[in-house]
Structure 1
Amino acid sequence: MPALAPSAFVEATDKVILFDGVCKLCHGWSRFIIHFDKAKQFKLATVQSAAGAAIMDHYQLQPSANAKDTFDTMYYIQGGRVYEKSSAFLQIMATMPYPWRLTSIFKVIPTRFRDGVYDFIASNRYKIFGKYPQCVMPTPDHEQRFLSFEKD
């Protein structure tokens, strides 16, 4: 996907991770990012949030009306470029500190195969890891890492 202009919620220099806020695996992923991203370079948003839905609309990723029900991939936005599935995961990991960035070596595996594994995990994540009944709110010390969007 070619790079797009930044939205009102995402600046050109932002590194934004969109994830499923009711998925326990995805919630654990967001906590991993917050814990190991000491430089605080990543901003997070759940697709169920107003900010997440607005970003998805801007980048035409998925109809935000269906985001709660059909979200099946994580998105990573950097420099106006959108990455999804295994490419999103590996781009994020390549930006993380050592030793986590070493996982980006898996970029040598063809995307079709990487995404096959990603899709298998994504389609079974609720069965394996569970699901929250509603989007989990960030703890007070993590709130500044999440994008927020206040409707006027």
Structure 2
Amino acid sequence: MHTNASNIKITNPTVLFDGVCNFCNTTVRFVLAYNRAENIHFSPLQSDFAKQLLAQYNLSSDDMDTVVFVQDNKAYTKSSAAFQIARHLIYPWKALYYFKYIPKNITDWIYDLIAKNRYSWFGKKNQCMVPKPEWRERFHE
């Protein structure tokens, strides 16, 4: 049975990330550590949940070169997503949010440079990260 993407209702901010990327997985663990409110949830881009949520926001599930952050019925990508995620972290990391005032073409260029090279610079896994048991309820699959 196929679930209609429009039926997905998320109540917590949600990060969609490349589940086989070592850099992305390290970043997810970083967010888990510094999101003290424990309100951010996660899903690998490779999951059915993420594919349905991407469809709901008219984003391609073929694009694994961006993180997607969904909050308050809005989807953010690339550097905009990173800055929105930073808002949910403790200081000093929360201050990264203010980099959003740098022109988007510059911050997205830096984001794209890292995204394009992430596998060669940081490596890649054969399968998606398995979250620790204490984090399991914050992951959608």
Say whether the fold is shared (TM-score over 0.5).
yes
Structure 1 residue identity aligned to 2:82: F
Distance in 2, matches of 1:82 and 1:46, equals 15
Identity of aligned residues (%): 37
Structure 2 residue identity aligned to 1:93: A
Which consecutive unaligned segments of at least 5 residues does structure 1 have?
1-5
CA RMSD of aligned residues (A): 1.5
Distance in 1, matches of 2:114 and 2:137, equals 29
Aligned to 1:3: none
Write out per-residue CA displacement over residues 15-51 of structure 1, whole angstroms, 9 at most, x where no aligned residue. 0100000000000011111111121110100011121
Equivalent of 1:26, from 16, 24, 27? 24
Aligned to 2:119: 126
SS at match of 1:56: helix
The count of corresponding residues between Structure 1 and Structure 2 is: 137
C-alpha displacement of 1:134: 1.4
Which consecutive unaligned segments of at least 5 residues does structure 2 have?
none
C-alpha displacement of 1:8: 2.9
Instruction: Kindly indicate whether the alpha-carbon contact (under 8 Å) linking 1:16 and 1:43 is maintained by their aligned counterparts in 2.
Output: yes
C-alpha displacement of 1:82: 0.8
SS at match of 2:99: helix
Instruction: Kindly indicate whether the alpha-carbon contact (under 8 Å) linking 1:34 and 1:145 is maintained by their aligned counterparts in 2.
Output: no
C-alpha displacement of 1:89: 0.2
Aligned to 1:94: 87
Distance 1:7 1:138, change over 3 A: farther
Give the TM-score normalised by the residue count of structure 1: 0.84
Distance in 2, matches of 1:107 and 1:60, equals 23
Superposed, which structure 2 residues align to 1:52-71 within 5 Å? 52-62=50-60, 64=61, 66=62, 70-71=63-64
Instruction: Kindly indicate whether the alpha-carbon contact (under 8 Å) linking 1:76 and 1:92 is maintained by their aligned counterparts in 2.
Output: yes
SS at match of 1:141: helix
Determine if the alignment matches structure 1 residue 139 to structure 2 residue 132.
yes
Structure 2 residue identity aligned to 1:134: Q
Distance in 2, matches of 1:78 and 1:137, equals 24
Distance in 1, matches of 2:26 and 2:51, equals 21
Write out per-residue CA displacement over residues 111-151 of structure 1, whole angstroms, 9 at most, x where no aligned residue. 00000000000000000000001112212221111024xxx
Give the TM-score normalised by the residue count of structure 2: 0.90
Distance in 1, matches of 2:29 and 2:8, equals 22
